[in-house]
């Protein structure tokens, strides 16, 4: 009887825990975005005009600001304004370093013009016979490749369960296996400590090195 009750309790926890965590995270995000309304003069805020607070209005405001900013920087005048703005920030030592690093990281992650963080790779790490998931960030770095004499892939090896920290590694291309799983699936697997395993639908050929190791 106790074993059955325990199973029911675990089954209920598996249902309500993800729902509760999702609601909590979205509530925190909406509350954070609603703070953008404090940028509006008090007399023009929705709660002053309508007499009540509208949850999530800050998220709508943030979306409008992002779209308007994107439209602005898409034309010549907007690009010139951004250029002068970045030139001004470049004169401030500490701000220049932080702004430049964040801007470059955002361009790498959100840009569709490169393969950064678009491929999930499998490498032998931390020693031969043990494998780790990683993400390709770039390929063929000139100086590293010239000094090693091999085709080099730059990868980011995240830690678990916090994938925002990790290691940057230079790996020979011949030692890299490209996986079929998406970046989202790989992140779920890393965050869940390997509990969430994505379904495999083969699209890439098996690496010859891996095939030779698997054969007797």
What is the pLDDT at residue 112? 62
Phi, psi (5° rounding) for residue 42?
A: -50, -40
What is the pLDDT at residue 77? 84
DSSP result, 32-59: HHHGGGGGS-GGGSHHHHHSS--TTHHH
What is the pLDDT at residue 209? 47
Q: How far apart are CA 202 and CA 208, in angstroms?
A: 15
What is the pLDDT at residue 167? 93
What is the pLDDT at residue 159? 93
What is the pLDDT at residue 108? 67
Given a cut of 50, the residues of the chain with pLDDT beneath it are 208-209, 211, 214-216
- How many CB atoms are located within 10 Å of the residue 2 CB? 6
């Amino acid at each position: 009887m106790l074993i059955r009750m325990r199973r029911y309790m675990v089954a209920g926890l598996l249902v309500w825990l993800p729902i509760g965590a999702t609601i909590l995270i979205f509530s925190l995000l909406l509350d954070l975005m609603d703070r953008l309304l404090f940028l509006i003069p008090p007399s023009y805020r929705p709660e002053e005009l309508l007499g009540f607070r509208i949850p999530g209005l800050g998220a709508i405001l943030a979306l409008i600001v992002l779209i308007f900013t994107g439209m602005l920087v898409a034309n010549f005048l907007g690009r010139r304004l951004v250029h002068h703005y970045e030139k001004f920030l470049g004169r401030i030592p500490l701000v220049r370093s932080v702004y430049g690093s964040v801007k470059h990281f955002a361009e790498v992650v959100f840009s569709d013009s490169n393969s950064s963080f678009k491929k999930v790779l499998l490498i032998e790490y931390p020693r031969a016979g043990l494998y780790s998931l990683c993400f390709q960030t770039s390929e063929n770095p000139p100086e590293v490749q010239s000094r090693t004499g091999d085709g080099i892939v730059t990868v980011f090896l995240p830690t678990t369960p916090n994938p925002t920290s990790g290691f940057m590694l230079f790996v020979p291309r011949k030692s890299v296996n490209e996986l079929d799983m998406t970046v989202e699936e790989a992140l779920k697997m890393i965050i869940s400590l390997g509990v969430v395993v994505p379904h495999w639908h083969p699209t890439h050929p098996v690496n010859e090195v891996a095939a030779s190791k698997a054969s007797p």
